[in-house]
Structure formats: structure tokens, C-alpha cells
Amino acid sequence: MASQKGVILLNFWASPFGQRVCIALAEKGVEYEYKEEDLSSKSELLLKSNPVHKKIPVLIHDGKTVCESLTIVQYIDEVWSDKAPLMPSDPYQRAQARFWADYVDKKMYDGGSRLWKLKGEEQEAAKKEMIEMLQLLQTQLGDNKYFGGNTFGFVDVALVPFTSGFYTFEMCANLNVEAVAPGIIAWAKRCQERESVAKALSDPKNIYEIVSMEYP
């Protein structure tokens, strides 16, 4: 069994990327020290721990640093392998999980931020793209309970933090996710029944508050 000593997470409360790590740690039952970062005045520890990107989240384990959220989640899955795995055992299914988690990484954050940054025709174009993304993910989910079938796993961890932004989509761009991708909302509700997810996700109205302050 891997050591749980010296596990530190550098994070910012509203970050969906950091929330992924919180969920993975909770799923594995790992105790850790949480350090909240002020992204306008980053700590020396963060700058030292992630000198390349200077971003959260960063996991520190026994003095060693791991950066980038999907990499961290995979690290957690491999190190604390005595608990239920987040990645499938089948190589093809693992490859598929990595593909869809990467898709989420490349599309959801930028796509969502465009909804509240842009106005007019540009926002409508961004809205159309987001609807297409959500419906594609809904198709991939199909009738399964989770993206990994009946097992909560890697893709679920990658995507579910972004659901806290759905309220902001509606308020900023009049995009009702339940209307265009009801399967994603039903999946999100199932995920939120898990303690690991419920404790990690930010309140949607708090997310909207910080977005509306930055982009009034």
C-alpha cells in the first residue's frame, strides 16, 4: 500500500482541473493537505513546484511534484492501486478513456469560457459548438450509468467538474444544458450522488458570481 504521508494539493477552489484531483484522491481514500492558491499572487511553493506552467493543480507526494490534472489523476490511480481503479484494465478501453478525457480537456474549458466572454454572433457560434460537444458526449455515454459503463472512472472524473459551470452557460448565453443534452444532466446527477464528487464540486452560483465579476 502506497504511503499517504506528505501528500499536498496546491489548488484554487473554482478550478475544474483541481476538482478532478480532489475527486480522485477521495475515491482512493487518500488523506492530504490542501493549500489554496491566490492565482493573482502565486505562492513560492507553486512557482517552485510547477516552474514550467506555473499553474494549479499540483500534487506533491513525498516531496515529488506531479503537474497537469489528467496526469495527476492517472498517477493517483496507479500509486494507490489497492482501491477500485479509475482506469479500465483493458488496453483498448484505457486508450478510449484517455481519448475522451483529452477531448474534454481540449474542448470544455475553452468552449465554456467563450460563452461568457463573447457577445452577439460570436457567442451564438460558441453556443452552437458547445451544444455539439455536449450532444457528442451524450452519444458516447449512451445508456450507460457512467462513461466507463457501470463503473465510475477516468472520463467521469475528467468531465464532472465542468457541470458546475452549466448554470453560468444558462445565465450568460441562455444555454439550458438539460434541454439540449438531458442524458448529460442525468449522468451528472448520478455522479453527484457520490460523496467524492459532491464534496469536490463548487456551487454553480459561486462560479457564476466570479465569472460575472470578471466579465460583467
CA distance 59 to 10: 6
Residue 1 in domain: no
Report whether 58 contacts 50 (CB < 8 A): yes
The whole domain housing 61 covers: 7-79
- Asked if residue 50 and residue 16 are part of one domain, the reply reads yes
State which amino acid sits at residue 118. Answer: L
Whether residue 85 lies inside any domain: the answer is: no
Torsion over CA: 64, 154, 28, 54 (sign): positive
CATH of the domain at 42: 3.40.30.10
Per-residue pLDDT tens over the stretch 41-94 = 999 999 999 999 999 999 999 999 999 999 999 999 999 999 999 999 999 999
Q: Which of 16, 13, 178 is nearest to 112 (CA)?
A: 16
pLDDT at 190 over 80: yes
17, 44, 79 - which closes a domain:
79
Residue 2 domain flag: no
pLDDT tens per residue across span 128-176 = 999 999 999 999 999 999 998 999 999 999 999 999 999 999 999 999 9
Q: What is the CATH number of the domain that holds 146?
A: 1.20.1050.10
User: What gap in Å lies between CA 13 and CA 22, rounded to an integer?
Assistant: 10
69 and 156 in a single domain? The answer is no
